[in-house]
Chain A
Amino acid sequence: MAFTTHTTPSGFLLPSIHSAPPFFSQQPNKTTLASFTDHWIKLILAYARHRRLFYLHVEDAETSGNDWDEVLKNERINRHVLPVYLEHIMGVMVEKNLAAFEPARQTRSVMLYWRLPEEWAETLHEWATSTGHLNTIMTFYDVTDPPIESPLSSIPVALLRKAIGILTKTNRAQLIAAADGEGVRFFSK
Chain B
Amino acid sequence: MALKRYTKSIDSTIPLPALLYTDERLFSSQNGVGIYDGQQKSASHQSGTVHVSSHRLFFTDTRDNSFALDLSYVVQTVYYAGLFTSSSKVTLHLASKTLPGTPEPEVWVCHVCGNRNPPGTSPAASRICTLCGVRRESPSTPSTPVPAASDAVACPACTFRNNPSKTTCEICTAELPVPLAPEISLMKLSFRKGGDKAFYSKLKSCLKTKAWEVRLLTVDDPLPSGSGISTWTLYFDMGADDRLKFITDGILQSVATSNQGVETNMKDALQDLEALMLKAKDMVRLAADLNERLTTSTAANPASEPEEATFIRSSLSQLGLQMDNVPVTLDMMQDEREWINQLAKELARVLQTIMKDRGIIALDEVWGGWNRARGVALIPPTTFLQVLPHLPVYTTPTIQKRQLHSGLTVLHTPPYSHAAFSARLVGFLSLNGPQTAVEIAQEEEITVGLAEGMIGAVEADGQVCRDDEACALNGSTVGIVRWWPWTEFDRYNYDGQL
Interface residues of A (CB under 8 A from B): 1, 5, 12-18, 20-29, 31-32, 35-36, 39, 42-43, 46-47, 50, 73, 75, 78-82
A26: chain B residues within 8 A (beta carbon): 468
Contact B473 A79 (CB under 8 A): yes
Q: Mark B81-116, 1 if CB is under 8 A from A, else 0.
A: 000000000000000000000000000000000000
Whole-angstrom distance between the alpha carbons of A72 and B350 in the complex?
56
* Known pairs A12-B497, A35-B492 / 16 extra A-B pairs, C-beta < 8 Å: A5-B496, A13-B496, A14-B497, A15-B494, A20-B484, A22-B465, A25-B467, A28-B459, A29-B459, A36-B465, A42-B494, A47-B497, A75-B473, A78-B473, A79-B467, A79-B471
Contact A22 B467 (CB under 8 A): yes
B466 is an interface residue with CB less than 8 A from chain A: yes
Which listed residue (B473, B492, B497) contacts A46, Cβ 8 A?
A: B497
Interface residues in B460-498 (C-beta closer than 8 Å to A): 460-462, 465-468, 470-474, 482, 484, 486, 488-489, 492, 494-498
Can you list 9 contacts pairing A with B, beta carbon distance less than 8 Å?
A1-B433, A12-B497, A20-B488, A29-B459, A32-B486, A46-B496, A73-B473, A80-B473, A82-B470
Whole-angstrom distance between the alpha carbons of A79 and B498 in the complex?
22
Whole-angstrom distance between the alpha carbons of A81 and B494 in the complex?
18
Interface residues of B (CB under 8 A from A): 433-434, 459-462, 465-468, 470-474, 482, 484, 486, 488-489, 492, 494-498
Whole-angstrom distance between the alpha carbons of A31 and B462 in the complex?
7
Whole-angstrom distance between the alpha carbons of A35 and B491 in the complex?
10
Contact A81 B495 (CB under 8 A): no
Contact A43 B496 (CB under 8 A): yes
B496 to chain A: closest residue by CB: A15
Q: How far is the CB of B462 from chain A (nearest CB, A)?
A: 4
What is the total of A-B residue contacts with beta carbons within 8 Å?
90
Q: How far is the CB of A79 from chain B (nearest CB, A)?
A: 5
B468 to chain A: closest residue by CB: A25
B486: chain A residues within 8 A (beta carbon): 32
**Do A42 and B471 form a contact, CB below 8 Å, given A20-B488, A29-B465?**
no
A1: chain B residues within 8 A (beta carbon): 433, 488
A82 to chain B: closest residue by CB: B471
Interface centre among B434, B474, B496, B498 (most CB of A within 10 A): B496
Whole-angstrom distance between the alpha carbons of A25 and B434 in the complex?
14
Q: How far is the CB of A56 from chain B (nearest CB, A)?
A: 17
B474: chain A residues within 8 A (beta carbon): 78
Whole-angstrom distance between the alpha carbons of A50 and B462 in the complex?
33
9 nearest CB pairs, A to B: A15-B496, A13-B497, A21-B467, A25-B468, A31-B462, A22-B467, A24-B471, A32-B465, A22-B465
A8 to chain B: closest residue by CB: B497
Contact A22 B495 (CB under 8 A): no
A81 to chain B: closest residue by CB: B471
A16: chain B residues within 8 A (beta carbon): 492, 495-496
Q: How far is the CB of B310 from chain A (nearest CB, A)?
A: 41
Whole-angstrom distance between the alpha carbons of A75 and B498 in the complex?
22
Q: How far is the CB of A182 from chain B (nearest CB, A)?
A: 34
Whole-angstrom distance between the alpha carbons of A81 and B200 in the complex?
112
Whole-angstrom distance between the alpha carbons of A73 and B433 in the complex?
23
Q: How far is the CB of A180 from chain B (nearest CB, A)?
A: 41
Contact A79 B472 (CB under 8 A): yes
Which listed residue (B473, B494, B497) contacts A50, Cβ 8 A?
A: B497
Whole-angstrom distance between the alpha carbons of A35 and B494 in the complex?
11
B471: chain A residues within 8 A (beta carbon): 21, 24-25, 79-82
A82: chain B residues within 8 A (beta carbon): 470-471
**Do A5 and B495 form a contact, CB below 8 Å, given A31-B462, A32-B462?**
yes
B434: chain A residues within 8 A (beta carbon): 21
A22: chain B residues within 8 A (beta carbon): 465-467, 484, 489
A13: chain B residues within 8 A (beta carbon): 496-497
Whole-angstrom distance between the alpha carbons of A122 and B461 in the complex?
45
Q: How far is the CB of B107 from chain A (nearest CB, A)?
A: 81
A18: chain B residues within 8 A (beta carbon): 496
B461: chain A residues within 8 A (beta carbon): 29
Whole-angstrom distance between the alpha carbons of A73 and B474 in the complex?
11
